[in-house]
Amino acid sequence: MKIAVCPGSFDPVTYGHLDIIARSTDLFDRVYVAVLTNPSKQPLFTADERVDMLKRATAEFDTVHCETFSGLVIDYAKMRGAVAMVKGLRAVTDFEYELKMASMNHHLDKDIETVFMMTNNKYSFLSSSAVKEVASLGGDVSAWVPSFVAEALAGKYTMLAESGIDIG
């Protein structure tokens, strides 16, 4: 059985992520979607909230499992018996960052490949950060995330505004 891991922050999951996950299910028998910590990002949603949204968004795929893991992605991939980690590449700007991570992970374990998939053109400019920025200013994000994610974003920003927290 060929197992893959789709790691990320997923803060929150977008249709760009879901496109990569769906295409991964065509290539691998089982796909573990893992919410991991990106030390350079301050998340809006808790890890459990992000996993819940991922579970809902991928419910149609029997071979997809979503969970959170705190630690190195390579340790997670090993724990799950994965042969590959699948990442989406949008533009040249993603390349340097992804190459650095893929090289580091290869150094840590040479048996686990990083596989890059080109993001579908229609999502080439889409990112969780852009979705959060638009949602935080009251814009419509329904073209980029499932409706329950758009609702969760609106709820989160309303809650933060009511509690007087600066959402920067």
Q: Residue 11 has which token pair?
A: 């803060």
d(CA 4, CA 65): 11
CB of 163 vs ligand PNS, minimal distance in Å: 26
The SS3 call for residue 112 is coil
Query: Is residue 3 within 8 Å of residue 32, measured between CB atoms?
Result: yes
Number of residues that bind ligand PNS (CB under 6 A): 12
Would you count residue 130 as binding ligand PNS (CB under 6 A)?
no
Would you count residue 104 as binding ligand PNS (CB under 6 A)?
yes
CB of 57 vs ligand PNS, minimal distance in Å: 15
Of the candidates 87, 62, 109, the residue with the CA atom closest to the CA atom of residue 9 = 87
User: Helix 147-162 vs helix 47-57: angle between axes, to the nearest 10 degrees?
Assistant: 160
Which residue out of 24, 50, 128, 156 is catalytically annotated? 128
Which residue out of 9, 17, 30, 156 is catalytically annotated? 17
User: Does the annotation count 90 as an active-site position?
Assistant: yes
Query: Is residue 74 within 8 Å of residue 112, measured between CB atoms?
Result: yes
Choice between 36 and 115, CB closer to ligand PNS: 36
Could you list the active site residues? 17, 41, 90, 128
Q: Which residues bind ligand PNS (CB under 6 A)?
A: 7-9, 36-38, 41, 72-73, 101, 104-105
